[in-house]
Amino acid sequence: MQNARGVRVDPGPAQYGQHFRPDIQGLRGIAVLLVVSYHAFGVPQGGFVGVDTFFVISGFLITGILAREVERDGRLSIARFYVRRARRILPAALVVIAVTLAAAFIVWFPARSWSVAADALASSTFVENWHLIGVDTVYLNATEPSSPLQHFWSLAVEEQFYALWPLMMVLGAAPLARRLLGRRAVLVLAVSLTALSMVIAAVETLVSPGTVYFDSVSRAWELGVGALVALAAPVTRRWDPRVVRTVFTVGLVVIVGSAFGTPPDTAFPWPLAILPVSGAAAVMAAGGRAGRVTVLLSNRPLRWLGGISYSLYLWHVPALVIVGSLVRASWGGALAVVVSVVAAMLSERCIERPFRHPSPGREGRRGSGPRLRRATDVSIGVVMVTMLVLLGGGQLRGPEVFRSGSALASALGRQPSAPLPGPVDVLSPADLQAALDTSTIELPTLVRTDELMALARSESLAPALLAGGCRNGLRDADIERPRTCSWGAAESENTAVVVGDSIALSWTPAIRAALGRGWRVEAMGFASCPVGRFESGPATGQPRFAQQCHKAQERMLEYVRTIHPQLVLTSSADGYLGTLRADDGATRDETWERSVHDTLEVLAGAAERTVLLQGTPTVTSPSACATRLTGFRDCGDPASDVHVRKDGVERRAVAALAGAGAAVSYVPTDQWLRNRDGLFPPVIDGTLVRPDGSHLTGTMSARLGEVLAEALRT
């Protein structure tokens, strides 16, 4: 078939436009089922690969639509394409953003609701992925409550691809078409861009693992693979029916298998995303011609689920996060899924359908000349791409208002007020015990709760953890020239050194208060990296983490040896043990105990006395459990199994060293933070204990100075 310019363009497989492929609709159903089940119940463990399946489907269908437009009109109208995308994507997305934002201000306190407002701004402008990178979000190992709009990152990746891909087709494929047939020209371009994106993904996984998950450049190859399948349709349609059935079946098995077999603590998306991507590509390459086995996807339930998949994807995370903060019972996830399905059905019928199909003759003008139309389309495409680049850059390098909810609130004159810090009222052991025995969970008035929740921000952490403090990253420059903290006179007779991860640094206000005058306190810490010397390191999904953490651990030990203090104190978070790779022939607990023993032995040789403080337990962040409707009523968790195990093995390691005559001791701290019912409340004696799930607020840490002093004396 020839277009108006005499260039042969293959119309592609019959799933574009008015043609319908039920297997693709069913594949959408599989993808959204995996994602929703993973987010709601954690099953399957790699259910997040459903997003990768969506990427391939999107690249496949959009490229096919563009190819059909070239075949039909002899040109590609970028303006008309953007209008179609806006009608398809924006109505439902904007409704979800608006409803979620309103619910956030109704349910949550300002510290969290304004953070959602910052996400809403990024989501509505299709740069949520860059916003998440800008605020250092870790998707697969998150420790803080998720934003109800965090899932808009994948929509942002798709729309950034859609902004650039048609423009590149117009600019790149048109010159190539003079020498190559139309589809081949676009195929050359797609192969080149997909390969480049793969290389970038592989490199970025090694050098910037915290960025690669949300990076649209490192994700573009997944949409590119879908585009390649669409462009290769003239070849795949000639496959033997037996080959088609085999390809279809294997592809479906690979998708489902990757969902159940991909560990959540591994590096992603590269290279493991190759599995779901190749599986989805295989299913679509079969072209709906797999015979009876097609029923695995084309059955009515999956087709129905695929029909509401877009709205269900949009609604399920807000439902899970908001309902989860109000209903902390085990059935809260199931209730949220029901709510999201009902909302998706209404959204698909009342919002998506009316906007999906434009009125005839209203998608674009065709009366102007071809050169003017092409110049107009290119201009529109350049403006769109430029806007997205500027907005994305603003999230990474722009003013804090792009990233911070509190900065956004300040810019709008709505900064949540927090009480100014005053003199710290130190708790005596008796006062602390009385406060813990007062009630199961302290229930201040909602007005007081509002004041406390205004403190549930990073600004309320210990000074050592704030910007300019001594919590260092794990980049080479940070390890070679780490920041340190110092308190007390340089000529002090005694020196104490605090080393470890951020949990160790969160104890510095208590340590300073406990030691008092006559002591100089020095500190050095590295984010998520304890002082312990471990052979294998944790499985964090960040390939260089273990290597860099080993360097940081040696740097901390060298720091202690250089100072040779009278006292060295350390502590660590639960998370490291939870993801630790066990040594050969040993369990995680045995590996942790051996490493703690060896490290404390080294520290004992460099200091007169060494103290291991029990790490604070990881519990639900007050931002995740406190609401305007319930206050702190549903907050307070028991210690996790990992925390209890870690306490046991550290006690044994210290006991072994002390029994051998080393000046090493262990200070259990749970007794200062746990109430009579065995729960860790968010508020003790009117003070917010932690702003997040694990670190002490600076005020709470300082108030524990006297009980720590007594423990050190004992």
Residue 221 placed within a domain: yes
Residue 4 placed within a domain: no
Answer whether residue 127 shows pLDDT above 60: yes
Phi/psi for 495 (5° steps) reads -130, 135
Residue 521 placed within a domain: yes
Answer whether residue 157 shows pLDDT above 90: yes
Cβ pair 653, 596 in contact under 8 A: yes
Q: What is the DSSP letter of 422?
A: -
Band of pLDDT at residue 540, cut at 50, 70 and 90: low
Return d(Cα 589, Cα 582) in angstroms, integer: 8
Same domain, 675 and 535: yes
Same domain, 523 and 634: yes
Answer whether residue 304 shows pLDDT above 50: yes
Q: Which residues contact 203 (CB under 8 A, 6 or more apart)?
A: none
Cβ pair 457, 693 in contact under 8 A: no
Identity of the residue numbered 670: D
Answer whether residue 229 shows pLDDT above 50: yes
**In a 10 Å sphere around its CB, with 0-12 CB exposed, 13-18 middle and 19+ buried, how is residue 228 labelled?**
buried
Residue 417 placed within a domain: no
pLDDT at 439: 54
Same domain, 435 and 324: no
Kindly report the pTM of this predicted structure.
0.81
Residue 12 placed within a domain: no
Residue 236 structure tokens: 């795949």
Residue 558 placed within a domain: yes
Which residue has 């740069």 as its token pair? Answer: 127
Same domain, 222 and 326: yes
Residue 574 placed within a domain: yes
Return d(Cα 17, Cα 25) in angstroms, integer: 14
Same domain, 120 and 268: yes
Band of pLDDT at residue 79, cut at 50, 70 and 90: confident
Same domain, 591 and 693: yes
Cα-atom radius of gyration of the chain, to the nearest Å?
A: 29
User: What is the number of structural domains in the chain?
Assistant: 2
Answer whether residue 422 shows pLDDT above 80: no
Return d(Cα 552, Cα 526) in angstroms, integer: 7
Same domain, 217 and 333: yes
CA distances to 183, 286, 674 from 293, in Å? 30, 11, 57
Band of pLDDT at residue 12, cut at 50, 70 and 90: very low
**In a 10 Å sphere around its CB, with 0-12 CB exposed, 13-18 middle and 19+ buried, how is residue 410 labelled?**
middle
Same domain, 57 and 145: yes
Same domain, 310 and 240: yes
Same domain, 395 and 467: no
Residue 621 structure tokens: 């962040």
pLDDT at 613: 96
Pairing of strands 494-500, 609-613: unpaired
Identity of the residue numbered 63: T
Provide the β-strand partners of residue 529.
526
Q: How far is the first Cα of the chain from the last one, in angstroms, to the nearest whole number?
A: 90
Band of pLDDT at residue 677, cut at 50, 70 and 90: confident
Same domain, 106 and 171: yes
Residue 10 placed within a domain: no
pLDDT at 702: 93
Same domain, 435 and 344: no
At 226, is the secondary structure helix, strand, or coil?
Answer: helix
The domain of 582 spans 429-713
Residue 507 structure tokens: 């104890």
Cβ pair 37, 43 in contact under 8 A: yes
